[in-house]
Amino acid sequence: MNIKKIKHNMKEAGRAVEQILKYLKEEGSVNIEDLKDKIGIEEEKKGALIDFLLNLKLIGIERNNQIMITGSGLEFLGL
């Protein structure tokens, strides 16, 4: 994989992370299955992004598969 492709993928992932966190800040929570429709995240990328955000503790999952932003996620948006 060349450097340009890697940079492009990183920028795309960064935009997706920011979109998810901003949406959750505004709406409070979203069902995992609705994430693609509400934010426009591709199905194959959705799982990896959710895992990434969970590992960083920027989001959490409530009952009924509702994703919510954590205090750390709110702080991250404030940077």
Task: Summarize pLDDT for 43-76 with one digit per residue, the tens.
Answer: 778 888 889 999 999 999 998 889 999 999 999 9
| Backbone CA torsion sign across 18, 35, 67, 51 | negative
Closest CA to 19 of 7, 37, 1, 44: 37
Q: Provide the domain limits for residue 17.
A: 3-78
Q: Model-level pTM? A: 0.81
Structural domains counted in the chain: 1
Q: What is the pLDDT of residue 40?
A: 78
pLDDT confidence of 79, banded at 50, 70, 90? low
Task: Indicate which CATH number applies to the domain containing 33.
Answer: 1.10.10.10
Kindly state the percentage of the chain with pLDDT values over 70.
97
Q: What is the pLDDT of residue 16?
A: 86
